[in-house]
Amino acid sequence: MVLRVTIDGCGGYLPELRLSNDELAALHGLETSDAWIRERTGIRYRHVAASGETASDMGAAAAREALSRAGVEPAEVDAILVATSTPDSAFPATAVRIQAKLGVTKGFAFDIAAACTGFIYGLAVADSLIRTGQARCVLVIGTEVYSRILDWADRGTCVLFGDGAGAVLLRAEEGAGTTADRGLLSCHMHSDGRFGDILHIEGGAGSTGGPGLLRMAGKEVFRHAVTKLAAVVDEALSANGLGHEDVRWLVPHQANLRIINAMGKKLHLPEDRVVVTVDRHANTSAASIPLALAEAHRDGRIGAGDLVVMEAIGGGLTWGAALARF
């Protein structure tokens, strides 16, 4: 028998305030329209954190649902990994804030900074921790409050993002060591710092640039996204001796509907087998994949035995993919 890392529970959290494109434009005096935003991105709504609501608040809420759905008590958790670009503070880590809010008193917790790819990186790290015996029960959380790092004078970026959190509970389980086993089959991570400036937060803690605001060269990011995401998905399938025809669901990073549709076509998947939340959530960065997973798992779309591909690209540039059977 071979140790396998299974996804046993998914959870998500969205702030109460939901803004349509028109409401967002009116609130911030933006010269844009619902039609302009929807045509270019597919976004109709996004959720915005309340005053005083933090990444750790949202991450803890998502984690509680994941624990509940897995039937796991906080006392059983060995590690908490949090992917975020908008931590509560430079330190302590948002992960340890969530550890305290959940009442977890053993093990360890730390943050991962890989922008929108952070959740994929978190899965990869958790997979390694469990396979090497350093933990048996791990929470991987993506949580973001991008509404606090947006330049509201830049209509090209400020309409793209939303706030929210998603989480999964991973556990060690024995399997036969085949691709038919449930659990994570493999994770694949990449980065290329030469392209760091096309999507970044200028300033921030430790910087001379003052408070951090998001900056993005949208056309450049789009160009890299299409090629790099296709390549890393093929890499994941090839590593497991699988093909496009074996994929049941694509759960992509929810950045732009055009990129999502392009990836669905690449895998020869009909639209009803691609999980899409960008229209209602906008881009929630590291939270977008676990939020989409939670929704599709909650409503029964993703079922036992389904092979799921997850992929993301983000600032760094970072990109990656994970393959899992539920």
Question: Tens digits of per-residue pLDDT, 269-317?
Answer: 999 999 999 999 999 999 999 999 999 999 999 999 999 999 999 999 9
Q: How confident is the model at residue 324 (pLDDT cuts 50, 70, 90)?
A: very high
Q: Tell me what the mean pLDDT of segment 177-195 comes to.
A: 93
pLDDT of amino acid 211: 60
pLDDT of amino acid 317: 97
pLDDT of amino acid 235: 97
- CATH number, position 51: 3.40.47.10
Nearest to 125 by CA among 194, 114, 116: 114
Asked if residue 192 and residue 151 are part of one domain, the reply reads no
Q: How confident is the model at residue 2 (pLDDT cuts 50, 70, 90)?
A: confident
List, for residues 110-169, the tens digit of each pLDDT value: 999 999 999 999 999 999 999 999 999 999 999 999 999 999 989 889 999 999 999 999
Asked if residue 132 and residue 206 are part of one domain, the reply reads no
Asked if residue 168 and residue 247 are part of one domain, the reply reads no
Measured between alpha carbons, how far is residue 125 from residues 112, 177, 186 in Å? 10, 20, 11
Other Cβ atoms within 10 Å of 20 Cβ, number: 14
Asked if residue 266 and residue 282 are part of one domain, the reply reads yes
Asked if residue 50 and residue 11 are part of one domain, the reply reads yes
Q: Are 290 and 170 in contact (CB under 8 A)?
A: no
Asked if residue 151 and residue 20 are part of one domain, the reply reads yes
Asked if residue 142 and residue 9 are part of one domain, the reply reads yes
Q: Which domain, by its residues, includes 307? A: 183-325
Asked if residue 154 and residue 15 are part of one domain, the reply reads yes
Asked if residue 141 and residue 290 are part of one domain, the reply reads no
Residue 102 confidence (pLDDT) above 90: yes
**Residues marked as catalytic:** 116, 253, 283
pLDDT of amino acid 46: 98
Domain end among 159, 175, 191: 175
pLDDT of amino acid 191: 98
Residue 208 confidence (pLDDT) above 50: no
List, for residues 33-84, the tens digit of each pLDDT value: 999 999 999 999 999 999 999 999 999 999 999 999 999 999 999 999 999 9
Report the number of distinct structural domains present in the chain.
2
Kind plus residue range of the DSSP H or E element containing 25: helix 21-28
Nearest to 188 by CA among 251, 126, 123: 123
* Percent of the chain topping pLDDT 90: 88
Asked if residue 61 and residue 117 are part of one domain, the reply reads yes
Domain end among 175, 198, 225: 175
In three state form, how does the secondary structure of 204-241 look? CCCCCCCCCEEEECHHHHHHHHHHHHHHHHHHHHHHCC
Q: How far apart are alpha carbons 119 and 285 in whole angstroms?
A: 9
pLDDT of amino acid 60: 98
pTM recorded for the entire structure: 0.96
Asked if residue 262 and residue 143 are part of one domain, the reply reads no
pLDDT of amino acid 210: 52
Domain end among 175, 191, 218: 175
Asked if residue 47 and residue 162 are part of one domain, the reply reads yes
